[in-house]
Amino acid sequence: MLTKKIEIFLIVVLICFIGIIFHIQLTKLESDIEKLNQKIKSEIQPRIEKSVLEQSEENNLIVLYNRVPKTGSTSFVGIAYDLCKKNHFHVLHVNITANNHILSLNNQLHFVKNVTKWNLMKPALYHGHFAFIDFMKFGFPRPLFINILRKPLDRFISYYYFVRYGDNFRPYLIRRKAGNKMTFDECVQQGLPECDPNAMWLQVPFFCGHSANCWKPGNKWALTEAKKNLVDNYFLVGVTEELEDFINVLELALPRLFQGAADYFIHSNKSHLRQTVQKIMPSEETIKKIKQSAVWQMENEFYDFALDNFHFIKKHTLKNRQQSYMYEKIRPRL
């Protein structure tokens, strides 16, 4: 009888021991689960939140291209229009009355508000022939400005013949100077306004903005302001002569919009869209005369400045495609 009681006692002790062990293991498991939850909150969750945030930011991208006339802008915009459906973004042309490059103050404010708050259109590329607008002046975040520059005399001559002969993009359209066969050389010899070097003053004011001094030909302050805006307020500025590289850099930097743009540019007919039908290169005498003007010298200085800046960005972008970065020695520890 005593032996039976001892057996029952031992069984009870064993059951209690097993229960204690189970409880300890359960407590340890709960502790491990809690630690895992903390790790998820401190490490994994922020990554998820960051990923969601990055996607949200990418889907809110606004790129603004205040395109300078006769710089190859039609070719570039043509690529954007062809890719927008595939890459799920919108392209909008800003058409200003009478092709004016300056917006009134009320229209600047309205435009800035509209671009910033029109969420249905985001992500978006806006493009049009207008001068730089300082969004922050009106209390709104600045979009990503991009642009393309061209050698000033080449651009000037191209435009001179464009208004006479048109281009292969819309050959049926009658241009403003249609029928006028005067060459650029003859125009310079006669000292006519349309080939006056002051009429070349366009790329500087496009980057300078909406201040009065920006539009005074040969104004040194305007040149300084244009350079400052290019560096401080533009995401990327390329050149017509290196349009393929400009597109390559954009695709690497902004794949949300420009994924596949470089390959499309090479293998489509968009790289030579809108060429002036007839263009006669000027004589050395004419070129020398134009280059003596203060306006050409400033426009050319600005072009060279932009070219150096683009080459610097291109070097550190295209040649470092595999470059990455990470954060280290984070304190206090999570």
pLDDT of residue 35 exceeding 80: no
Q: What span, in angstroms and rounded, lies between the C-alpha atoms of 34 and 38?
A: 6
Question: How do the domains of the chain map onto residue ranges?
Answer: 59-318
pLDDT tens digits for range 83-136: 999 999 999 999 999 999 999 999 999 999 999 999 999 999 999 999 999 999
Mean pLDDT in the chain?
A: 88
Among all residues, which ones are annotated catalytic? 127, 129
Query: Of the ranges 11-25, 101-115, 153-167, 245-259, which one carries the lowest mean pLDDT score?
Result: 11-25
pLDDT of residue 75 exceeding 70: yes
Find the largest Cα–Cα distance for the chain.
Answer: 135
The mean pLDDT of 313-319, rounded to a whole number, is: 94
Closest CA relative to residue 313, chosen from 228, 231, 206, 203: 231
Fold type of domain 59-318: Rossmann fold (3.40.50)
* Beta-carbon-side half-sphere exposure of residue 6 (alpha carbons within 13 Å): 3
Query: What pLDDT is recorded for position 259?
Result: 97
Read off the pTM: 0.80
Query: Of the ranges 17-21, 51-55, 91-95, 231-235, which one carries the lowest mean pLDDT score?
Result: 51-55
